[in-house]
């Protein structure tokens, strides 16, 4: 069975500084990996995904994520944080052979001006 761990409940960063939101995963086969963002009282929005190929994936709003197979990690990054990036971020994993997408517990990102 697949699972996702987001070790940080909250990440605080100053505007203009780089940010990293951590994610590790467990899956029996090859993974599809995703990052989604949720703003208050809203549904989730897709940011980016890893299927295969380049370990660095670029997504929406200047976000990128780095896939590391040996460490089973898929950390979300952005070179320069904006106050508007403050939201709840979810890492998710899907087994290439299945239908289910499993989400982590979420990490709340606060960007201070």
**Residue placing its CB nearer to another protein in the complex, 54 or 113:** 54
Question: Binders of another protein among 57-76, rule CB under 8 A?
Answer: none
Q: Is 41 in the site for another protein (CB under 8 A)?
A: yes
Query: How many other β-carbons are positioned within 10 Å of the β-carbon of residue 2?
Result: 18
Of the candidate spans 13-21, 34-42, 63-71, 77-85, the one that interacts with another protein by CB under 8 A turns out to be: 34-42
Decide: residue 77, CB within 10 A, 0-12 exposed, 13-18 middle, 19+ buried. Answer: middle
Structure tokens at 59: 């997504």
Residue 15 or 66: the one with the smaller Cβ distance to another protein is: 66
């Amino acid at each position: 069975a697949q699972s996702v761990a987001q070790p940080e409940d909250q990440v605080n960063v100053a505007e203009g500084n780089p940010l990293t939101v951590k994610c590790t995963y467990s899956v029996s086969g090859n993974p599809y990996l995703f990052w989604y963002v949720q703003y208050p009282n809203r549904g989730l929005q897709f940011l980016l995904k890893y299927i295969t190929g380049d370990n660095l994936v670029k997504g929406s709003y200047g976000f990128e994520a780095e896939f590391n197979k040996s460490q089973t990690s898929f950390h979300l990054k952005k070179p320069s944080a904006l106050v508007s990036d403050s939201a709840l971020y979810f890492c998710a994993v899907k087994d290439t052979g299945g239908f289910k997408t499993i989400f982590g517990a979420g990490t709340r990102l606060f960007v201070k001006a």
